[in-house]
Amino acid sequence: MTQRLAIPTTGRDAASVLEDARAYIADDADYKNGRTWSMVYWPGEEHHHLTEAANNLCLAQNALNPYAFKGLKRMETEVVQMCAGLLNGPPTTVGTMTSGGTESLLLVVKTYRDLARARWPWIRRPVIVAPKTIHPAFDKGAHLFGVRLRKVPVDADGHVDPHAVRRAICRNTVLVAASAPQYVTGVVDPIPAIASIARERRVPMHVDACFGGFILPWLERLGVRMPVWDFRVHGVTSVSADLHKYGYAPKGASVLLFREMRYLRHQFFASTDWPGGIYISPGLPGTRPGGPIAAAWASLLGMGEDGYLERARGAWEAAEALRAGIRAIPGLRVLGEPMSTIVTWTSAEVDVYAVADQLQAKGWGVDRQQHPSSVHCTCNASNLPSVPLYLDDLREAVAHVRAHPELAREGDAAVYGLLARVPLRGMVKSGVLDVMEKMYAPDGGTPDLDGDDPVQRWATRALDAVDRVKGALRRGR
């Protein structure tokens, strides 16, 4: 075990601490030069410095107590108002800021579960119905709050059949959820059709627009063909949208909006019997950092409609150029359809994960997906200049993997290929948790990217075990 780091006896000078910090992040993903396709939504240095200054202005403030920090509460209120306007909410729209999309969706599960307890107290096993492509934060919320998540299948491009949603709704259903767009292939779920079914069955409906809430409205204004998905759809009772994505606010800032207060009321938590006093909170945490609230507020005001339209245009041009370039490469196929700035590609002719390895070796951030094996790209305006270079590298990578099919058995390609082949998904979950334990052990930390991959070692053992079980079953027959 390595020696544990201790707090220094005497504090170090600021310059040396920051020097170490810069050294730590020197080899992190190169988002400023457009070589990543997700995780960071880079708005440029000028806007970044504005939100940085606003964050620092309220760095020490705590939104737990809105009476002590009235200015911070005013900022949150104005953020909610601006977002409600963008998403076509009625005058009754209310909401709160959260720490990110995951907290927003956890609160969605909690809120509608509690609403059902008040509205339909005879429901003992509440059910949420959603397409299979719904964000896994819903799985987490269902796990935490004792709700069953019933997922509806989608086709290869990510489309869900509204009639399948109708069939999945039962008398215990407390919510129907859908995405605008879903992250996997960028398809906007058929919100009007699903909302009509939810209304018919007298069930609320949530639209997860954590990804699309701050890009789809601007694309629509630019003339991109866009289905209606927001509060204009009668039957949509709530919408979540991440300010730290295309809202260009720093992490973590999201907003959760409800059509009216009778829904939001069930999001709140209050404890009135604690000897320390009355405790209330609008979301999951108690202490709420003021910096992200102030930074999100500054981002909306500083960017303005013209700034958002300009960046949306650049992101769309990058996505369209990427789609066209990928379609021109023999053997590759773009999944979904051009509804958003998500571009997902797959192949039936070359190993997708081996191609991804080649791109990663060339310095690209790569997001690998499964069912089917594919690569996901989230396009930003900052990616536009780098699209031609990416396509050149992609063509070279595809040609190289065609000439060397054995690459599918090496590197990350082998890891993802093995994991995809393990038929017992519980075994995959157990193995991944084992890897997380190692990473967060007392001497854990940064993964050893140059050493033997623990996921690959585990997946190989899992497949061996599955083969032994299959062999035993065959012999038993």
Q: What is the predicted pLDDT for the residue at 66? A: 83
Q: What is the predicted pLDDT for the residue at 470? A: 46
**Of residues 370 and 233, more confidently modeled:** 233
Q: Answer yes or no: is pLDDT of 477 > 50.
A: no
Domain positions in the chain: 53-300, 422-476
Class of domain 53-300: alpha beta
Where is 98: in which H helix or E strand?
Answer: strand 94-98
Predicted TM-score (pTM) of this structure: 0.86
- Kindly state the average pLDDT of the residues 139-166: 95
Query: pLDDT by residue (tens digit) across 257-302?
Result: 999 999 999 999 888 888 988 888 889 998 899 999 999 999 999 9
Q: Answer yes or no: is pLDDT of 462 > 70.
A: no
**Of residues 413 and 232, more confidently modeled:** 232
Task: Looking at 132-178, list the stretches that DSSP marks H as alpha helix, in order from N- to C-terminal side.
Answer: 137-145, 162-168
Q: Answer yes or no: is pLDDT of 70 > 80.
A: yes
Query: pLDDT by residue (tens digit) across 74-92?
Result: 999 999 999 999 999 999 9
Phi then psi for 382, rounded to 5 degrees?
Answer: -70, -15
Of 44-48, 76-80, 310-314, the one with minimum mean pLDDT is 44-48
- Kindly state the average pLDDT of the residues 183-212: 96
Q: Answer yes or no: is pLDDT of 415 > 60.
A: no
- Kindly state the average pLDDT of the residues 419-433: 56
Is residue 339 very low, low, confident or very high in pLDDT (cuts 50, 70, 90)? confident
Q: Please tell me whether residue 271 adopts helix, strand or coil conformation.
A: strand
**Of residues 401 and 271, more confidently modeled:** 401
Surface-to-core class of residue 36, CB atoms within 10 Å of its CB (0-12 exposed, 13-18 middle, 19+ buried): buried
Number of Cβ within 10 Å of residue 432's Cβ equals: 15
Q: What is the predicted pLDDT for the residue at 75? A: 93
**C-alpha radius of gyration, the chain, whole number:** 24
Query: pLDDT by residue (tens digit) across 214-225?
Result: 999 999 999 999
- Kindly state the average pLDDT of the residues 397-411: 87
Task: State the DSSP code for 289.
Answer: B
Query: DSSP letters of 15-57?
Result: HHHHHHHHHHHTTS--TTTT--SSS-----HHHHHHHHHHHHH
Where is 179: in which H helix or E strand?
Answer: strand 173-179
Q: What is the predicted pLDDT for the residue at 473? A: 45
CB 126 within 8 A of CB 171: no
Report the alpha-carbon angle 75-307-338, nearest 5. 110
Is residue 35 very low, low, confident or very high in pLDDT (cuts 50, 70, 90)? confident
Of the candidates 427, 416, 419, 362, the one whose C-alpha atom is nearest the C-alpha of residue 392 is 362
Q: What is the predicted pLDDT for the residue at 428? A: 58
CB 38 within 8 A of CB 242: no
